[in-house]
Structure 1
Amino acid sequence: MAVPDSEAQYVTFGLDDECFAVPVEVVREILDHQDAFRIPHGPDYLLGLRDVRGQGVPVIDLRLRLGMSRTTKTPHTRILVIDVKIADKALTLGLVADRVFEVTSFKHQSVESAPDIGVRWPSEYIAGVVRRETGFVVIIDLAKLFSPADAVSLVSADAGRTVAGSAVI
């Protein structure tokens, strides 16, 4: 059980007019947006692969995965490169965000449980909600965002591919 005054750090980012967060410890780095190498027959939210330091990383349109409209690239669009465990598989993914705000701390006692109604995306993806003066911050449960079948298709998307420079061989 968490100590009442203890805090956890999160990276906050925007999708549309909403503010979301993921634990800072899963974020490897934040990159400027670049178009991904398209993968045929992937799920609609899988934009393709991107070379991240010699590793082919599947890039996800997080807006589509959450049931929102497709991301429109702007000068503020970023990719959060995360390491997450899904269905007993360690995956590195790139999540496209409209913009990244900050790294911030939330006290454990200020994180409320996910509401069952009144949100545009399925609440099983929500680890918690934090109230701020400017609105709410929705903490995403990354392990629940993708099903075991999603994890298999994302692993197979970059399995066996070698990345050299910016070309996928």
Structure 2
Amino acid sequence: MTGLPTESQFVTFSLGEEVFAVPVAVVREILDHEEPFKIPHGPDYLLGLRDVRGQGVPVIDLRLRLGMTRTVKTPHTRILVMDVPLNDRSLAVGVVADKVFEVIPFRHADIEQAPDIGIRWRSDYIHGVVRREIGFVVIIDLARLFSGDETALVIPTSAVA
């Protein structure tokens, strides 16, 4: 036995009919949807700021960020507040999900590389996919999703006091 874990825990959620997952370790909390404070001149997927325990957290519409249609709020809509590890810092961000399902373990051996063909969103944001009885679960590579030109989402906590 090597001592390395053979599986990891993920939070699963839906965007439309698609099921996605992020590592449970990055999810700080799951909140009911509330309209965030609007930020002028932000990208269309940046919905605004939300106060989370005294910290201004940018809220994004992940559907728009992935090239899907805008989220339509329902009683099941939630915001996953995450601490995304980037190169030299941690980015606090709220991600809007149509519905949050459960925390589930995935065996590392069951995580497949994302196919380059037949995906409706840019596959460089996909860490991998897991086959389920009905369809797939797409594991999002959060560091890639929030790096590069998305540094505009980084708001110093001192600026929102």
Deviation at 1:134, TM superposition (A): 1.4
* Structure 1 counterpart of 2:51: 51
Normalising by structure 2, report the TM-score.
Answer: 0.94
Q: Report the 3-state secondary structure (helix = DSSP H, G, I; strand = E; otherwise coil) of the residue aligned with 2:34.
A: coil
Deviation at 1:160, TM superposition (A): 0.9
The structure-2 alpha-carbon separation of the partners of 1:43 and 1:14, relative to structure 1 and needing over 3 Å to count, comes to same
Normalising by structure 1, report the TM-score.
Answer: 0.89
* Structure 2 counterpart of 1:39: 39
Q: Report the 3-state secondary structure (helix = DSSP H, G, I; strand = E; otherwise coil) of the residue aligned with 1:38.
A: coil
* Structure 2 counterpart of 1:79: 79
Identity, % of aligned positions: 67
Kept after mapping to 2: 8 A contact 1:4/1:108 = no
* Structure 1 counterpart of 2:97: 97
Separation in 2, partners of 1:44, 1:158? 22
Q: Report the 3-state secondary structure (helix = DSSP H, G, I; strand = E; otherwise coil) of the residue aligned with 1:124.
A: helix
Separation in 1, partners of 2:62, 2:158? 21
Question: Which deviations, in whole Å up to 9, do the C-alpha atoms of 1:33-82 show, x marking residues without a partner?
Answer: 00000000111110000010111000010000000000000000000000
* Structure 2 counterpart of 1:25: 25
Structure 1 gap ranges (5+)? 163-169
1:154 paired with 2:138, answer no
Separation in 1, partners of 2:14, 2:150? 23
Separation in 2, partners of 1:108, 1:161? 39
1:67 paired with 2:67, answer yes
Q: Report the 3-state secondary structure (helix = DSSP H, G, I; strand = E; otherwise coil) of the residue aligned with 2:109.
A: helix
Deviation at 1:161, TM superposition (A): 1.7
Which runs of 4 or more aligned residues in structure 1 lie more than 3 Å from their structure 2 counterparts after TM superposition? 2-5, 156-159
Separation in 2, partners of 1:90, 1:77? 25
Question: Which deviations, in whole Å up to 9, do the C-alpha atoms of 1:77-108 show, x marking residues without a partner?
Answer: 00000001234231100000000000000000
Separation in 2, partners of 1:11, 1:75? 19
Kept after mapping to 2: 8 A contact 1:36/1:48 = yes
* Structure 2 counterpart of 1:166: none
Query: Which amino acid is 2:131 matched to?
Result: R
* Structure 2 counterpart of 1:144: 144
The structure-2 alpha-carbon separation of the partners of 1:90 and 1:4, relative to structure 1 and needing over 3 Å to count, comes to closer
1:107 paired with 2:107, answer yes
